[in-house]
Structure 1
């Protein structure tokens, strides 16, 4: 890369986008304005001299017709005054045949070559008596050339005035192009500037509640920058929701962990003075400590699982639901021997497969079964039904109160009736998160005849 290219690339990197856009727009418009002015100058200059050349050609033709037998030398005029008749002279190809009187018009080797037929007729500009003039040289008879000249003051003055006028127009055009480029960059990049300011404000304050103001307009006709701002607002909304959820999770987790950690510290301090305890007291404290450690470990594991927003894609595979449900029900029977579990699989669901992570789907089913068994009175069944479109887990317990129904899937939420039962209030929240990660929908409702019913609507 040359030094000029490196310098240009460094300039582009160091200049803001608005400046670069203004310079590019101004340069494009200025280039067009200068091009138009140059083209207009060339056309006007060509037309002015074309008219003068036609007069010279007509004068040369008249001389050739009227003075066919004229001798070499000056024929007419001196061209001292503007508008005077054309001055003309005849020049032989051989310099030895020149007349004794000097020529009025300049004679060169090209003139001799035109006279001898070696060179085509031509036009030339020269100065005569201190004034601009234009001359036409063409062949005349055998071995002679005729030169015709006219004062070119008008054409020369017209060309000069045209150059001055178009230069002024071009300068004004460049100035207007600079102003237009600045206006275009300022207007066109205004949404981008607002987007940048919002992003910088969020980075400085770490507050995702800011939004970019969108210009009013009919939907479906937004420009690219407006669509970008809309997408950025959507991203900010998702970020705000995620940040709020994380803060709520941390706050809830710190609140829920405070009590078991306090109990753990109390039992640990009690066991530190084991020499003062009886064997029964020491065993009771050790058992409580072990149970609390298990509960805290389970809660931490649940929090880690809830912190995952989606399932890892490399672990997805085709999962047969019927065997997975049967295995989960068998495991629940071992954990809850006092609760009978029934399972019913529709004929068209026996070979049902869905893409997912088997371990995560098993965890979802286990959470639903544990929740149903926890609220079921001893001896009342928990019914599991699998169809082509849904998996349903129903218990015959006290059910869900209408005021608790909107919150059963919230983290750490525990209904008043469930606060005395073991658990952290994370199982159903985790089950819904796993369901959403697999494209399914988990809902809760009061079951007909009493109890609660959880329905997992499978993805189609």
Structure 2
């Protein structure tokens, strides 16, 4: 519709301008013909007696019938207007002219020819009239000033202009219709990806089946929009898949301690109900197991809350300048308490980063916990912080190469370590914290090729306090 309207306006402007130019040209040709017209007789003796009246119609009525047949039809029509307004026609006149009133005096001004529109009194035909000054010699030898009206009919010009207007109207109509049809075809072709996008969005809104994509063709704005939609849909599908997997894994991890707790509680209740008290040692062992399972549940729920944050950095998180070397020192103190028989070889240099202090400390503690957990008795744990690069290396059994791609997945645990305590969320928390801080973390074999695993955390920062 907009294309058709724009074309209609353009065609209307061009057509109107063309019609006005043609009209001006045709009427200029009429004026040129009038300027080339021979001068009318100046005495009544040349073409017979002058017949006058107060109006053109009265003057024409005074012309005798058949008087003009003597000389045949004339191209031009002549008419005189005297100073007192009297209208006079020659004897060969067959038509009288009524000039459209203007702001001019009966005599042409400054002896210059004037052009006026007029019409014939005995018909509806229009004419162009040239007004020039002259004089006539009336009977009795009296010469009197007069205005000579020389007229040419404009019926042919008007017919040509009407035909041209009709032709332009038809062409304009066809142009508008053609533009509308072409615009509709082009619009439907160009907006087909938008229709597909709308259908995909409505399908997702109706069925909640994220991951639906649409084909992308070209590299224009519509293609970019389709690509963005496909990326968004894929991201939503991945997010839902991660959410579903997190819920399933969390339920699986929670089921084991809850089942153990329920079994112990049922056993205690049954023994009290039957009046058969358990031996003190058995009862104490069961209560200890219940306490350990409650602690495991508490840690698991804390880890789940930590991972409930979005994968992208949270702009509302408390981010400040953190003396990371102090964070590492505090984590080492807790690591020594958890592995009192281990030897910690440390080298911690000053380093300041921007991040969440609590999250960074927990990430370092998780790396140290893994090193303590998998180190042999009386083993060594190497911890070094140099220029923002933290390395934690143990001398344990290491991680098989085929399992390294999965170490940062949520709830993933190596088959060889399923019997050890833990939820499989520690390294996931480390990866998320490092990502939020703008750093990188990796886990692999020891750099020197010896036994054990080496974790490397690189955080952007500086060795001096920026505050």
When normalised by structure 1's length, the TM-score is: 0.83
C-alpha distance in structure 2 between counterparts of 1:361 and 1:83, whole Å: 114
Q: Spell out the pairing of 1:86-235 with structure 2 (5 A cutoff).
A: 86-95=76-85, 104-106=96-98, 110=102, 113-115=105-107, 117=109, 121-127=114-120, 129-130=122-123, 132-141=125-134, 144-215=146-217, 217=218, 222-235=219-232
Change (3 A) 1:318 1:29: same
Corresponding residue SS for 2:387:
coil
Residue in 2 that maps onto 1:254: 251
Change (3 A) 1:146 1:268: farther
Corresponding residue SS for 1:396:
coil
Residue in 2 that maps onto 1:399: 398
Residue in 2 that maps onto 1:14: none
C-alpha distance in structure 2 between counterparts of 1:34 and 1:263, whole Å: 88
Kept in 2: contact 1:49–1:155 (CA 8 A): yes
Structure 1 residues not aligned, in runs of 5+: 1-22
Residue in 2 that maps onto 1:294: 295
Deviation at 1:363, TM superposition (A): 0.8
Residue in 1 that maps onto 2:464: none
The Cα RMSD (Å) is 3.1
* Structure 1 residue corresponding to 2:343, chosen from 340, 344, 354: 340
C-alpha distance in structure 2 between counterparts of 1:432 and 1:35, whole Å: 68
C-alpha distance in structure 1 between counterparts of 2:208 and 2:98, whole Å: 86
Residue in 2 that maps onto 1:40: 18
Q: Deviations over 1:138-172 (max 9, x none)?
A: 24048532211112222121111112111111221
C-alpha distance in structure 1 between counterparts of 2:286 and 2:292, whole Å: 10
Change (3 A) 1:455 1:99: closer
Q: Deviations over 1:320-341 (max 9, x none)?
A: 2211111111122123222222
C-alpha distance in structure 1 between counterparts of 2:416 and 2:306, whole Å: 26
Kept in 1: contact 2:99–2:129 (CA 8 A): no
C-alpha distance in structure 1 between counterparts of 2:116 and 2:4, whole Å: 41
Structure with the largest fraction of helix = 1
Kept in 1: contact 2:319–2:355 (CA 8 A): yes
Deviation at 1:382, TM superposition (A): 1.0
C-alpha distance in structure 1 between counterparts of 2:100 and 2:207, whole Å: 85
Corresponding residue SS for 2:401:
coil
Change (3 A) 1:68 1:340: farther
Change (3 A) 1:450 1:380: same
